[in-house]
């Protein structure tokens, strides 16, 4: 018999992060595409900002564009975290995390079951080897 739990299929998870409860949804394909486009635009702007012939008025314009793009990306991430209120706690959370930390957080949230299963499997293997050592 195959035992299937639809909880593992859910695109939303209820989590407690730093004492705040959130309902988190996975990033959708559209979210990921928008973030990818924003990251490409950010890279282009950063290259322009390091150009040796950059004028101060251009620098200010590029920095403003950079800030707008960063805010757009953060908004996309924050929209995946429902804090049960106006979203300010979600925005504060994603704003303080780096890109890599956000990626790790999503991985922890949506792969928690797999991580627990792997840890349980390792514990079983560890118990078996310890029992064999004790018998010898």
Question: pLDDT tier at 135 (50, 70, 90 boundaries)?
Answer: low
Domain tally for the chain?
1
Q: What is residue 92's predicted lDDT score, i.e. its pLDDT?
A: 97
Domain assignment present for residue 81? The answer is yes
Domain assignment present for residue 76? The answer is yes
Distance, CA of 28 to CA of 11 (rounded, Å): 9
Q: What is residue 111's predicted lDDT score, i.e. its pLDDT?
A: 85
Q: Which residue has the higher pLDDT, 105 or 11?
A: 105
Domain assignment present for residue 135? The answer is no
- Of 74, 97, 118, 98, which Cα lies nearest the Cα of 18? 97
Domain assignment present for residue 7? The answer is no
| pLDDT tens per residue, range 30-48 | 999 999 999 999 999 999 8
Distance, CA of 37 to CA of 73 (rounded, Å): 10
pTM for the structure as a whole: 0.75
Stretch 119-130: mean pLDDT, rounded? 74
Q: What is residue 5's predicted lDDT score, i.e. its pLDDT?
A: 65
Q: Over the chain, what is the mean pLDDT?
A: 87
- Is pLDDT at 26 greater than 70 in this prediction? yes
- Of 51, 49, 36, 22, which Cα lies nearest the Cα of 109? 22
The token pair at 128 is 């078996």
Domain with 99, as residue range(s), is 28-121
- Of 25, 44, 4, 3, which Cα lies nearest the Cα of 109? 25
Question: Which residue has 């303080």 as its token pair?
Answer: 96
Domain assignment present for residue 9? The answer is no
Partner residues linked to 14 by β-bridges? 23
Task: Read off the DSSP letter of residue 79.
Answer: T
Domain assignment present for residue 22? The answer is no
Question: pLDDT tier at 118 (50, 70, 90 boundaries)?
Answer: confident
Domain assignment present for residue 133? The answer is no
Are the CB atoms for 127 and 22 separated by under 8 Å?
Answer: no
CA 32 to chain centre: 11
Domain assignment present for residue 43? The answer is yes
């Amino acid at each position: 018999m195959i035992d299937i739990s639809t909880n593992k299929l859910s695109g939303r998870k209820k989590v407690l992060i730093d004492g705040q409860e959130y309902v988190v949804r996975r990033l959708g394909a559209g979210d990921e595409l928008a973030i990818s486009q924003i990251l490409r635009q950010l890279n282009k702007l950063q290259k322009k900002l390091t150009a040796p012939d950059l004028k101060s008025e251009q620098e200010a314009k590029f920095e403003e564009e950079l800030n707008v793009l960063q805010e757009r990306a953060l908004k996309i991430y924050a929209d995946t975290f429902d804090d049960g209120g106006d979203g300010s706690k979600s925005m504060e959370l994603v704003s303080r995390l780096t890109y890599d930390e956000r990626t790790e957080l999503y991985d922890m949230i949506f792969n928690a079951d797999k991580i627990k299963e792997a840890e349980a499997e390792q514990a079983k293997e560890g118990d078996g080897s310890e029992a064999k050592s004790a018998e010898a």
